[in-house]
Amino acid sequence: MKIIMLGAPGAGKGTQAKKIAEKYQIPHISTGDIFRANIKNGTELGKKAKTYMDQGLLVPDELVVDLVVDRVGQEDCTKGYVLDGFPRTIPQAEALDKALAELGQKMDFAVDVEVPDENIINRMSGRRACVGCGATYHLVYAPTKMENVCDNCGGELVLRDDDKPETVKKRLDVYHEQTQPLIEYYTNSGILKTVDGTADIGDVFAEIVGILGA
């Protein structure tokens, strides 16, 4: 099963993608996580990506597309995967469709997690990310067992560099301008499904499972 997660920054794409990956036993491929891992490891790609990410801008298509096309062609993706944060522009979506067509494959679902802008800024200010493994929590909605300690690896929790309110506002503008057109793109290709992302994390997941099948 091949799934794309769509939605504004902070809509819950990563939270839901992780649960989908666990339930359906498919890889969770997050371009944001890939860039953050590269930044942490000080790679050339990480250095380039950081200059855009810190401003709330998208990393240029040419730095993203080959990376994802290469990733979905790997051995562990033969049974499917869940893409989180890609595609985010029409050219990225077209490049993905073209790459899949060359492999004789197609995307099954594009799941749009809908959350109004008003809810997003508040949500992001409470998000915390683990410096060790990148796991995501929320002070109120998805707390850790011990305060400020990652449940997975014991790492320290921090506010992501791009989660400052000014940067979140910029990311929302960029989303509306460059990513929202994908809703129409996937409506036209007949695979768009919309879920209410303002519900509790478990209820959103139940709605998604209802779409994907148990």
Residues classed as catalytic? 13, 88, 127, 160, 171
Question: Interacting stretch for Zn ion, rule CB under 5 A, among 35-43, 46-54, 90-98, 135-143?
Answer: 135-143
Strand partners, 193: 111
7 binds Mg ion (CB under 5 A): no
Among 3, 21, 31, 182, binds ligand AP5 (CB under 6 A): 31
85 binds ligand AP5 (CB under 6 A): yes
Question: CA 167 to CA 175: how far, in whole Å?
Answer: 12
Listing DSSP states for 164-207 in one string gives SHHHHHHHHHHIIIIITHHHHHHHHTT-EEEEETTS-HHHHHHH
28 binds ligand AP5 (CB under 6 A): no
Among 1, 183, 191, 201, binds ligand AP5 (CB under 6 A): 201
Question: How many C-beta atoms surround the C-beta of residue 30 within 10 A?
Answer: 21
The DSSP code for 80 is -
Maximum alpha-carbon separation in the chain: 48
148 binds ligand AP5 (CB under 6 A): no
CA 81 → CA 42, 66, 109, 157, 193, distances in Å? 27, 17, 11, 27, 17
State the residue for tokens 């990393």.
59
123 binds ligand AP5 (CB under 6 A): yes
134 binds ligand AP5 (CB under 6 A): no
26 binds ligand AP5 (CB under 6 A): no
Residue list 37-76, contact with ligand AP5 (CB under 6 A): 52-53, 57-59, 64
Q: Which does 205 bind (CB under 5 to 8 A by kind): Mg ion, Zn ion, ligand AP5, none?
A: none
Q: Which does 12 bind (CB under 5 to 8 A by kind): ligand AP5, Zn ion, Mg ion, none?
A: ligand AP5
Among 101, 103, 149, 153, binds Zn ion (CB under 5 A): 153
The DSSP code for 85 is S
Question: CA 61 to CA 99: how far, in whole Å?
Answer: 15
Answer yes or no: are the C-beta atoms of 189 and 108 closer than 8 Å. Answer: no
- Token pair recorded at residue 189: 């290709």
Chain residues that interact with Zn ion, rule: CB under 5 A: 130, 132-133, 135, 150, 152-153, 155
Please give the residue ranges that form the binding site for ligand AP5 (CB under 6 A): 7, 9-15, 31-32, 35, 52-53, 57-59, 64, 85-86, 88, 92, 123, 127, 136-138, 141-142, 162, 171, 197, 199-201, 204
